[in-house]
Amino acid sequence: MKKLILVLLFALVQISYSQWEQAGNWLYDGIIWSLAISGNNIFAATDGGGVFLSTDNGNSWTAKNSGLTSKYIVSLTISGNNIIAGTSVGLFRSTDNGNKWTAMNLGMTNKYIFSSASSGNNIIAGTGDGGVFLSTDNGNSWTAKNLGLTVTYIWSLAISGNNIFAGTYGDGVFLSTDNGNNWIAKNLGLTDKYIRSLAISGNNIFAGTAADGVFLSTDNGNNWAAMDSGLTYTHIRSFAINGNNIFAGTSGGVFLSTDNGKSWTAKNSGLTDQDIQSLASSGNYIFVGTYTGGIFRAKLSDLITDVEERMKISSAGISIFPNPSVNTIKIKYSNDMSGQTKITLTDLNGNIKLEQVQSSDITGEQTATIDTSTLKAGTYFVKVEAGKVSTVNKVVIVK
């Protein structure tokens, strides 16, 4: 692995540096309502393009719609070897990674599916105005399970053991401990009862609301507490959990909490569409589905580890001159292995302004020249990376 051995000319900028990138050859420009992951397969549900599949970490995508009578897909759930798609005309099941879909709606009296979840052979589906339906035979048949529900618009669902949580449109959270036969409202402490998303991590239940941010319950929903420190957007559309890391997708980007929701940090560098609809975690990556910008991915390590910590690990730095600069900057570094070095220049919001790949067949000191004449005056960040080693520093452009 190439290592950069450099000396900083000025202090490292202590910022969180998140490196999001567009995921592959994504072409559909509509909403990505849901993301689901099964092994190496990543499924994406869209608002008119149907289901898309990637088998290579999002590098390429293929439409998988054979048998679907509606391409308006709102929810995706993995149940064993089955993929369950919730559409505007009911539920469809695929047993062959999306190559063929079959309608599975026996007993469904309302077919506008908004949410779904699975546990073992049980699949729960939430509808737009028909409440909750349960299947105990992998979707072959369905039974309405609404006793105790005061609202039948089910926006979100989550399962933990014998507990099923339903987030409703306007009447908060409901809990069933008997496979949906009975539901009890669990809203003490909730100031917003429009529950867009639910997620479970151990004994912690997270509820994302339409206007008041994130709420946490540690006692099966009996009590809820607001967890909004650092959240600048409070419409919470989705969650993804990776170990102790909780990601929230909002109308204004992705936020990360590493302390069970007590504090949140924005992680949006490189996201050109920050209207987040869906989230999913797979291996070393996290994926986001946006409103119209497609699918983005980021390495979990880039989101979780800040720049200063990565610099200490890699013992890396860069020197930039002149600084401040008018039209051109030179970036000096040295490497102990030949190959390629990627240089990226971003603005303060993380938007990429310039990129350059520097190749060399020799080792030792290298110098890259970057034309900055097209940039507006201001402060920018320069990132130099080779393999897993990266360094960030600041440059000021004057006119």
- Which pLDDT tens digit goes with each residue over 334-387? 665 567 788 888 876 667 888 888 887 776 778 889 999 998 888 888 888 765
- Asked if residue 325 and residue 312 are part of one domain, the reply reads yes
Q: Residue 122: CB partners within 8 Å, gap ≥ 6?
A: 134, 135, 136, 159, 179
- Asked if residue 226 and residue 119 are part of one domain, the reply reads yes
Q: Does residue 113 contact residue 91 with C-beta atoms inside 8 Å?
A: yes
- Domain-ending residue, one of 287, 304, 321: 304
Q: Is residue 1 part of a domain?
A: no
- Asked if residue 375 and residue 268 are part of one domain, the reply reads no
Q: Does residue 280 contact residue 240 with C-beta atoms inside 8 Å?
A: yes
Q: What is the pLDDT of residue 349?
A: 63
Q: Which residue has the higher pLDDT, 151 or 284?
A: 151
> Average pLDDT, whole number, for the chain?
86
- Asked if residue 281 and residue 190 are part of one domain, the reply reads yes
Domain span at residue 371 reads 307-397
- Asked if residue 167 and residue 144 are part of one domain, the reply reads yes
Please compute, for residue 10, the number of CA atoms within 13 A of its CA located in the half-sphere on the CB side.
11
Cis peptide before 322 (omega within 30 of 0): yes
Q: What is the pTM of this model?
A: 0.74
Q: Does residue 164 contact residue 154 with C-beta atoms inside 8 Å?
A: no
HEC sequence for 171-204: CCEEEECCCCCCCEECCCCCCCCEEEEEEEECCE
Q: pLDDT tens digit string along 181-190?
A: 999 999 999 9
- Asked if residue 137 and residue 50 are part of one domain, the reply reads yes
Q: What is the pLDDT of residue 14?
A: 34
- Asked if residue 297 and residue 344 are part of one domain, the reply reads no
- Asked if residue 344 and residue 204 are part of one domain, the reply reads no
- Asked if residue 387 and residue 351 are part of one domain, the reply reads yes
Count of domains forming the chain: 2
- The token duo for 182 is 């009975």
Percent of the chain exceeding pLDDT 70 equals 88
Using DSSP's 3-state secondary structure scheme, residue 152 falls into coil
Opening angle at CA 230, ends 224 and 231, nearest 5:
70
Q: Of all residues in the chain, what percent are helix, strand and coil, respectively (each to 5)?
A: 5, 50, 50
Q: How far apart are CA 153 and CA 168, in angstroms?
A: 6
- Asked if residue 311 and residue 300 are part of one domain, the reply reads no
Instruction: Give the closest residue to 50 by CA, choosing from 96, 127, 291, 33.
Output: 33
Above 70 in pLDDT, residue 256? yes
Tell me the pLDDT band of 96, cut-offs 50, 70 and 90. Answer: very high
Q: Residue 242: CB partners within 8 Å, gap ≥ 6?
A: 281, 286, 300
Amino acid at 47: D
Tell me the pLDDT band of 307, cut-offs 50, 70 and 90. Answer: very low
- When mean pLDDT is compared across 60-69, 122-131, 138-147, 263-272, the lowest value belongs to 263-272
